[in-house]
Amino acid sequence: MAAVLERLKRNGAVMAGLAVLALIVLLQLAQTAPLERLQLQVFDSYQRAAPRVQAGASPVVVVDIDEASITHLGQWPWPRTDLAELTRRLGQAGAAAVAFDIVLSEADRTSPEALMERLGPAGQALAGLPSNDALLAQSFADVPAVTAFFLDKARSGRVVEPKFSFTLHGSMPTAAVQSYQGSLQPLPVLEAAAAGNGFVTLEADADGIVRRVPLVAIHRGVLIPSLGLEAVRVALDAGSPDLTTTDGSGETVGAGGAAVSLRLIERHIPLTDAGEMWLHFPVDGQRITLPAWQIIGGELSDAALAEAVRGRIVFIGGSAVGLQDLISTPVSDRTAGVNAHAVAAEQILAGDFLERPDWAVGLELVLMLLLGGALALLVPRLGAGLGALAALVGIGAAAGGSWLAFTQADYLLDPTYLVLALAAIYAVQTVAVFWREEQKRRYIHAAFDRFLSPEMVRQIAADPGRLELGGEERDMSVLMADIRGFSRISEQFSPRQVIDFLITFLTPMSEILLARRATLDKYIGDAVLAFWNAPLDDPDHHANAASAALEMIARTAQLNVELGGREGVTWPGEVKIGIGLNSGLCCVGNMGSAQRLSYTLIGDTVNVASRLEGLTKQYGVSIMIGGTLAGHLPGFALLEVDHVRVVGRDAPARIFTLLGDEAVAARADFVRLAEGHTALLSAYRAQDWEAAEAALGRGQADYATFGVAALAELFARRVERLRADPPGPGWDGVFSATEK
């Protein structure tokens, strides 16, 4: 018994661990928001621990409209002449491209024509002067400038006209790439003069942190570039970028609708499905940042400015609070939004990309199944101490592997779910093992806290050695009987009345079993477990078990007639029972402890008897017996029911119903029923549905005569279903039971 309990304990803990593993797998597939946020925070910690190190000086410079610039040059927006001066000086200093992270969508209020309208006759002296917007447009024409625009989901503004068209490999990625209908664009005169035009709309994650920047979006069905991508294109004087989507990569046969990568000249840029690029933020101070006021006001000399910006892309944006262009990133709680576009341009130029490859989730799932499954199998065997060590080794391997993938290959591999799975498996299995230990102690206490049977007392008096714990294997017959609908019966009576009913019922049933030389093992609520051929030998135990079952059915019917409706007797109308019979090897003997013991049996034979009793409900019969026992009852009225794979067993077995003794077996109507039912099973297993239906039709009256009409109805439903949906040539006719 101890070995059996130990095995149950270990298997139960393994199943608990595997159940936890399955739950974590489902959570990963479902991509729940809290765990997805935890995943992103892990990636953030990697960036803070290992920021990107630029090889050499950064190819990007940021001109910052900071608080000091607002103080020196006045409230924003500044006159366009100041921006023209800024652009002119940057161009003369040799900037490869000047990208404005500012949407210049309104005319300059300080322009001569605007002042003339405001001053009236007093402003006529300004007539003929060029507008400030025209001056800025002229500076754009003289310098490789890139303007910016916002995108909006609502349909507004004019159509975006990109400076170039993407070369698309595959179908339009409308399923994942963000689509917009509206826009807020720069003044047409400025847009026309600029060499490039890109959107600056950024989408933060649910926690408000910007981790990716989109390089491509869709506006009214047309692909458009981001500011960072457009700035690089202008700086390199490149042609149209190539956008590859899922059905155009040529590597896999995938459905369209998602981005895969961009190619700009020789630069291959990996993208997320939504056309975004993961940002890898650099070490602080690696990129030159120049205050705008020093350039516009001339405080920064031409030579110093040229040294800072020559051959580089210059992004102009604002960190001043009033400009409302501050974002949160993995490495900063508050920084200018222009820095996200600058980082994107740096990575494109350097060919240094963070990537969460399309195989990442699959690899993470496989590792979780392998390591989690291994831990679930090991912890119950290793114990708490070594199990904790195994869990820590697995967690360390997961975290270390993810960290190495980030630092050595720029891959974003998520250790979150694997670490969570290993920790949860260890915790749950440790609790399960302790719980099983406690259950074992309670089981032993309850199982042996009773007196021995009188028969065992006589045997112990004759042989005191029988007090020793242990058991022996015997060929035995086992009976499991259960009252149908006992829950319904219990609802009708008080607890005291339920006890009275059980005593009234179980007493005659027990008398039948004892008269047929059975050993009563236990009462399990409304159920009875009995066995034959132990402790005393019974050469006729097969026939005794069958006869006892038939007598129990007959006695139940008699009690229904005698007690049903009688005043003063607790009897719930018509009572029916189901009986499972089986025979085979069992381990029987005194089991328990040195202080308390019980004479009982265990083994697969007992389990199958219980399953057979449960099958009586599904097949509508009163007695169900296993094939081994049926082989020892040649004279009884047996009917093969089915070929079944019961719950808990892989191998299928033939099952039979017992309808009577030798006298019933000799009756002509039973012989006719048996022959017809055999024909039904043969046709059914041969998938000859017409012959099966014919056999059912011929035997309808006989099935009713012997009280197994429900069995015929069950096969009629099966035949109808299988005729409509044939099982195929590999079908073996085995029915797999899903209920105990």
Cβ atoms of residues 242 and 260 within 8 Å = no
| Cβ partners under 8 Å of residue 614, min gap 6 | 578, 580, 737, 739, 740
How large is the average pLDDT for residues 678-691?
A: 93
Structural domain spans, the chain: 2-44+358-447, 53-111+138-350, 454-633, 664-740
**pLDDT at residue 288 is higher than 70:** yes
**pLDDT at residue 461 is higher than 80:** no
- The SS3 of residue 68 is helix
Mean pLDDT estimate for the chain:
87
* pLDDT value for 471: 75
* pLDDT value for 122: 56
Query: Identity (one letter) of the amino acid at 79?
Result: P
Residue 460: Cβ within 10 Å count: 15
Confidence of residue 124 (pLDDT cuts 50, 70, 90): low
* pLDDT value for 448: 35
* 60/352 Cα distance (integer angstroms): 14
How large is the average pLDDT for residues 343-368?
A: 91
Whose CA is closest to 287, among 338, 326, 249?
A: 338
* 311/93 Cα distance (integer angstroms): 9
Residue that is written with structure tokens 């993470």 in the block = 364
* 659/395 Cα distance (integer angstroms): 61
| Cβ partners under 8 Å of residue 522, min gap 6 | 529, 600
Residue 691: Cβ within 10 Å count: 16
How large is the average pLDDT for residues 178-198?
A: 94
Which pair of structure tokens corresponds to residue 379? 């912890």
CA angle 434–437–440, rounded 5-degree value: 150
* pLDDT value for 453: 43
| Maximum C-alpha span of the chain | 135
Whose CA is closest to 482, among 614, 606, 602, 629?
A: 614
List Cβ<8 Å contacts ≥24 apart for 600-603: 600/447, 600/521, 600/522, 601/471, 601/476, 601/478, 601/521, 601/531, 601/534, 602/1, 602/4
Whose CA is closest to 298, among 64, 85, 60, 81?
A: 85
How large is the average pLDDT for residues 181-194?
A: 94
Bridge partners, residue 332, by sequence:
329
- The DSSP-derived string for 478-547 is EEEEEETTHHHHHHHS-HHHHHHHHHHHHHHHHHHHHHTT-EEEEEETTEEEEEESSSS--TTHHHHHHH
Q: State pLDDT tens for residues 18-39.
A: 888 899 889 888 888 888 888 8
**pLDDT at residue 450 is higher than 80:** no
* pLDDT value for 467: 46
Residue 112: its H or E element: helix 112-119
* 469/529 Cα distance (integer angstroms): 22
* pLDDT value for 28: 84
Query: Identity (one letter) of the amino acid at 622?
Result: S
* 669/473 Cα distance (integer angstroms): 41
Q: Per the CATH hierarchy, to which homologous superfamily does domain 454-633 belong?
A: Nucleotide cyclase, GGDEF domain (3.30.70.1230)
Range in 112-116, 601-605, 697-701 with the lowest mean pLDDT: 112-116
Range in 250-264, 328-342, 455-469, 610-624 with the lowest mean pLDDT: 455-469
Confidence of residue 554 (pLDDT cuts 50, 70, 90): very high
For the chain, helix, strand, coil in percent to 5 are 50, 20, 30
**pLDDT at residue 371 is higher than 70:** yes
Range in 175-189, 246-260, 358-372, 579-593 with the lowest mean pLDDT: 246-260
How large is the average pLDDT for residues 149-165?
A: 92
